[in-house]
Amino acid sequence: MFGKFIVLAVMAILATRIAQIIYSLGFHITIYNHQPGPCRIIQGMDVGSEDITVSSNGQAFISSGINSNPPGDPRRSPPNIEGRIYVFDFNKPENGVEELSLLGDFDRTDFYPHGISLYEDKNSGEVRLFVVNHPVRSQDSIEIFRYDNKSLTHLKTVTGDNIYSVNDVVAVSLESFYYTNDVYFVNSLGIDLEILSNVAWGTIGFFDGEDSIVASGFQFANGINQSPDGRYIYLAVTLQKQIIVFERRKDNSLHEIQRINMYTGVDNIEVDKQTGDVWIGCHPVTHMMLSHSQNITNKAGSQVLRLRFDTKDAPYRNIDMREVFINDGSMLSGSSVASFYDDKILIGTVLDKMALCEVTAF
């Protein structure tokens, strides 16, 4: 009798988990397209624009050529892609994108960028770009560049024992940054088992000369950013479909103070430096994105959400959450980021095109 009870309990647990997985894939979700104003595809950005971050004067930096793990469609994997960084001027959108030259002692042939972060030093005026890199021939790293005159000069490669499955980065000084490890395992089988088993092994790390883990317990820790005043760190947790707000303490440790349910697969986070609004690229239907990642001809949903807080002090009580853009893949597949400047948003994707939309109403 006891043995039968154990078998039934195990079967119930498995059935519950299978039902959770099926529901999370989003087969029940229907997308009804809408956009905040006129949108157009930016030419020359056809193989992905996974992350975008914008400077205070409207220069948008764009990463393209991600080396995904687990590997996806061979047409979007090494050696059939090249990692590149582009710039787009919101003030002159008619000029389109321009590829930035990569200078310095740096292996340009093994550069496959993912998340990026811009740091503008108020005292010196120096601008640095921090780039998550997934090289083929070595471990994950964060590459630090100095930006000047339409070029990026490589300054430093940062690696460490706690930098192993990096997804995104947010710079907090010229030399220090927070970063996310989305999962624990770095091989395809381990990643699949980790996700299917529903464990929360994603982490946030911090580097200031040494790398350390400062927060853990997340199911696919994805995008990371900070409030304009630097007091709070925002984390996008894709599988938990949440934005988590942390208070940043003087010793750079993090104290969790709020979880915001987003009800969608959140990816990268951009923060408007003027208003503090949070803009998020999302994957509204998981099974579409999984299919698209394996075969880029399969369409995937794209979604942009905006969060507006009524105060600068967290926890935020009154949150205005709005869907700014959603598309079934007919225009844009697999949105990963949305960067706002001067009533326009630049929407990037993991493997597909990039769009510019005027924001007139939503």
Judged on CB neighbours under 10 Å (0-12, 13-18, 19+), 103 is middle
In the structure encoding, which two tokens stand for residue 73, read together?
Answer: 């469609």
The torsion angle over the Cα atoms of residues 12, 18, 24 and 25, rounded to 10 degrees, is: -160
The CA–CA distances, whole Å, from 200 to 185, 258, 290, 355 equal 12, 17, 20, 33
Q: Which of 137, 116, 119, 140 is nearest to 128 (CA)?
A: 119
Q: Note if 114 is an active site residue.
A: yes
Compute the half-sphere exposure of residue 65: CA atoms within 13 Å on the CB side of its CA. Answer: 22
Instruction: Give the DSSP H/E element, type plus range, for residue 18.
Output: helix 2-24
Peptide bond into 36 cis (omega under 30): no
248 alpha-carbon distance from chain centroid: 20
Give the active site residue among 34, 114, 134, 154. Answer: 114
Task: Give the angle 51-320-355 at the CA atoms, nearest 5°.
Answer: 30
Strand 335-341 and strand 344-349: pairing? Answer: antiparallel
Q: Which DSSP symbol is given to 95?
A: G
> Across 272-314, where does the E strand assignment appear?
278-283, 302-309
DSSP string, 97-137: EEEPEEESS--GGG--EEEEEEEE-TTT--EEEEEEE--SS
Distance CA 167, CA 138 (A): 16
Cite the active site residues. 114
